[in-house]
Amino acid sequence: MLAILVSALVVCAASLAVGQGVLRVRGVREWSWQSGAVGLSVLMLVSTPALHVPGRTITTALVIGLLCVGSLALLVREPALRPPLTGLAAGLPVALLVAIPFLSSGYAGTLGVSVNNDMASHMLVAETYRFADVAAANGLNASYPIGPHTLVAALSEAFDFDVDLVFAGLTAAIPVLLGLTALSVFGPGARWPAKMILATLVGLPFLVAGYYSQGSFKELIQALLIVAFALELRRFDPASGRLRWLPMAVLLAGTLSVYSVQGIAWPFAIGGAWLAGLLVLALLRGRPFVGPTWAAVRAELAPLALGLGALVVLIVPQIPRLGRFADSTLGAGGTGIDPGGAGALGNLVAPLPVWEAFGIWDNPDYRLPAADPYEIGMLAGLVLVLMLIGAVWWLRRGDWVPVAATAGVWAIWAYSDRTQIPYVTAKALMLCTPFVMLLAVRPLVVRSWRPETPRWWPFAAPVLAALLFVLAGTSTWRAVRTASVGPRAHMEELRSLRPLLDGKPTLFLGNDDYLIWELSGLRAQAPLVGYQVLPVRPEKQWTYGANLDIDALDASVINGYDYVIVPRDPAASELPPQLRLVRETPSFALYRRTGAVEPRGLLAEGGSPAAKLDCSTPEGRSLSRQDGTAEVRRGPVGVEVQPIAPGHSATVKLRLTPGTWELALPYISRQPLEVTAPGSRVVLPPNMDRPGPRYFAGKVAVARAQTVEVKITPQTDWLTPSSQVAFPTTVLAVPDFGEKTVPLSEACGQLVDYYTLEGGS
């Protein structure tokens, strides 16, 4: 947890300090809350050349450090550039909310595991920039935007933190910076409660919280950058110096680093709405139009040229990457995803309803429909009315840019809703949410009112502000409290084995979407990585959620790997003698292949490790008459287990004969599972891998035939949400008597693990 906290604090502090330094160059002589977005853009842009400079991420980390030192020195020298403490304190509720997923889970880890497992590839990219051996073994996508990844790599290098924890820290920092950026709409003397309410509702409204909970850092950064872009246009002053376009150039370059060429659609829409607003104002004033407009354009040519020049310089290292990304996404709605294909929904259940953008939802998972559509519709309508009232409030004060910017982002959503896949449209909807809250909330927290304001409004506004804060805050709380955080136990075990693999091809017999990152730097493969990758033998007839052991793969496939990592599964098929044990961890065992694995014959096992040889069938009789041997075993005793809610436990009863029995358990759980039986206690670590693999869960010695009780208890606390249900599917007791070899003629009616025919045929 410390690594996440430090990473988040460093991102926030460095972004604010460096951004203020850039704004000082632009000519700003007082604190600006846009500094966070500007500074984050600079940090990403400085990090991107990591592959092309000596020292790689060491060099970029040093450059970032120098920028931070210089910016902090500037803040020390010029007190007017320092942030007000009341403003920083306004971000504390957002900081607390982004910490909730880790507090409720009880551990640090990757956000969104099992909800959106794309983070595996993102973390691999970051490690590619940090480690040359990972780059050599795994390569790098030549077109994908990599600004956040390179920043994570630099911070990981600087503090020697794992990239998954730095990514979590970066993701947690963005809503805080977003909330602080919104504070620029306040003038001097604004009250802390008003700042706190606005920062919380703009920084982490429900839909933003949903994307935060699944680790969607790119979408969060894009929201931060476009809100800052709009608010920078709001304070645009033609008399503010020749570098007045510099902050916009930095924000545009940051957008290209995060979202590539598609990302500039939002700044362009906001900028277009801003220009349209200027045109409307000029027409409404009834003054001469052509002459003053042409004069204004001529006055902006030099500053605009400087801004464009800065933009080009900032994105020079990424121009080839931007071009390749544009080429790869043309012709598919600007996404590269087939609109009629299976990926159109992404990780969504259905297209998102527009009402989710209004910040109040009664289902903690933003992908699921409202539990009470009528109530949610009424509350969303209330927020819509507040947004429209807010728009009028902004316009009457001549502060029209936030209204124009909101219209621009909604126009992007409307276009996406008609022309693009639901997965992309959902992101466009999320990017509308901070603007909705900005329009709706600011008029509710005004300190003083104009004389023409209705008498009842100063009394109604605080009540509405409190109501919106409670309702929207409750929706956000539910979203972050139920967020899925990936445990690190299996990752740490696999990474402890990585130095023993010598960079050699490695076969993994679990079902883990994060394998490519966990064993980065070598060619690691598995039969299943979210979907089937390697050919599975037809006798196994694999279905989703079924277990796969060594017999699932043909010997020719196994012989393509030097090492094999298997779950410690007492019920699994016996490993070939050519696999020699190197090391065990609590959950896995590493084997080195010392020779060519011989082919094996299998019966139709399906998801089981063995099958009974039925000699009453023609096929069974034919096999039993052939020359060869069979490895036979005693069958396990298994009992299904129902899902276990937090605060509860499950007890199963197994009828066992005398002898020693090993327990195996396939499970998915966000919390550790305590498995107890007579004379045995094992605590299984949290596991959010895909279902199927079984793990060692204890050993029981039975002196006489009896019923043995096995109790499974999730280790939870008061912060554990009721949605964190544990799913242990079946308790298996496996006799620890080993297998024996018998002639095929004697294997009838017995459980056969595998068989071998004379001559190897």
Question: Quick one: CA torsion of 694, 695, 700, 706, rounded to 10 degrees?
Answer: -20
| DSSP at 669 | B
pLDDT of the residue at 513 = 93
pLDDT for residue 338 is more than 80: no
Residue pLDDT, tens place only, 399-447: 999 999 999 999 999 999 999 999 999 999 999 999 999 999 999 998 7
Assess if residue 391 is contained within a domain. no
Residue pLDDT, tens place only, 164-175: 999 999 999 999
Work out the pLDDT band at 585, boundaries 50, 70, 90.
Answer: very high
Question: Quick one: CA torsion of 324, 328, 331, 333, rounded to 10 degrees?
Answer: -100
Whether 123 and 175 map to the same domain: the answer is yes
Assess if residue 473 is contained within a domain. no
Which of 271, 305, 330 finishes a domain? Answer: 330
Beta-strand ranges (E) seen in 622-670 are 628-633, 637-640, 650-656, 659-668
**CA pair distance 347, 424, nearest whole angstrom:** 11
Q: Is 224 within 8 Å of 36 (Cβ atoms)? A: yes
Q: What is the CA radius of gyration of the chain?
A: 30
Residue pLDDT, tens place only, 119-165: 999 999 999 999 988 888 888 888 899 999 999 999 999 999 999 99
Assess if residue 580 is contained within a domain. yes
CA distances from 580 to 504, 576, 662 (A): 16, 9, 22
**CA pair distance 220, 232, nearest whole angstrom:** 18
pLDDT for residue 336 is more than 60: no
Tokens (6 digits) for 64: 């970032």
pLDDT of the residue at 413 = 97
Assess if residue 108 is contained within a domain. yes
Tokens (6 digits) for 333: 């709605």
Whether 589 and 665 map to the same domain: the answer is no
Whether 535 and 663 map to the same domain: the answer is no
| DSSP at 447 | S
Whether 88 and 23 map to the same domain: the answer is yes
Assess if residue 641 is contained within a domain. yes
The least confident of 110-114, 124-128, 320-324, 727-731 is 320-324
Residue range 223-233: mean pLDDT, rounded? 97
**CA pair distance 226, 251, nearest whole angstrom:** 8
Work out the pLDDT band at 449, boundaries 50, 70, 90.
Answer: confident
**CA pair distance 17, 23, nearest whole angstrom:** 10
Which of 273, 305, 330 finishes a domain? Answer: 330
Alpha helices by DSSP H, listed for 523-602, are 555-558
Q: Which residue has the tokens 């802390």?
A: 192
Assess if residue 295 is contained within a domain. yes
Work out the pLDDT band at 288, boundaries 50, 70, 90.
Answer: low
The least confident of 160-164, 229-233, 313-317 is 313-317
The percent of residues in the chain predicted with pLDDT above 90, rounded, is: 78
Alpha helices by DSSP H, listed for 183-286, are 192-203, 206-213, 217-234, 246-259, 265-284
Cα torsion angle, 441, 444, 446, 447, sign? negative
Assess if residue 617 is contained within a domain. no
**CA pair distance 16, 717, nearest whole angstrom:** 36
CA distances from 267 to 223, 248, 325 (A): 11, 9, 19
Whether 139 and 16 map to the same domain: the answer is yes
pLDDT for residue 192 is more than 60: yes
Residue range 351-372: mean pLDDT, rounded? 96
Question: What's the CATH number where 682 sits?
Answer: 2.60.120.260
Number of domains in the chain: 3
Whether 120 and 269 map to the same domain: the answer is yes
3-state SS, residue 509: coil
Name the packing angle between helices 457-481 and 92-105 (round to 10°): 30
**CA pair distance 490, 685, nearest whole angstrom:** 8
Cα torsion angle, 621, 626, 632, 636, sign? negative
Tokens (6 digits) for 43: 């940090």
The least confident of 322-331, 333-342, 520-529, 692-701 is 333-342
**CA pair distance 19, 271, nearest whole angstrom:** 21
Whether 82 and 161 map to the same domain: the answer is yes
**CA pair distance 11, 23, nearest whole angstrom:** 18
Q: Is 38 within 8 Å of 25 (Cβ atoms)? A: no
Q: Which residue has the tokens 């545009």?
A: 252
Q: What is the pTM of this model?
A: 0.94
Whether 289 and 159 map to the same domain: the answer is yes
Q: Which of 198-207, 326-335, 347-356 holds the top average pLDDT?
A: 198-207
Residue pLDDT, tens place only, 720-757: 898 899 999 999 999 987 789 999 999 999 999 999 99
Domain extent at residue 684? 637-736
Whether 157 and 195 map to the same domain: the answer is yes
3-state SS, residue 26: helix
Whether 519 and 663 map to the same domain: the answer is no
Residue range 327-334: mean pLDDT, rounded? 62
pLDDT for residue 334 is more than 60: no
Whether 592 and 707 map to the same domain: the answer is no
**CA pair distance 21, 35, nearest whole angstrom:** 8
Whether 251 and 162 map to the same domain: the answer is yes
State the Cα angle at 178 between 231 and 182, rounded to 5°.
Answer: 40
Work out the pLDDT band at 531, boundaries 50, 70, 90.
Answer: confident
Assess if residue 483 is contained within a domain. no
Which of 274, 303, 330 finishes a domain? Answer: 330
pLDDT for residue 275 is more than 70: yes
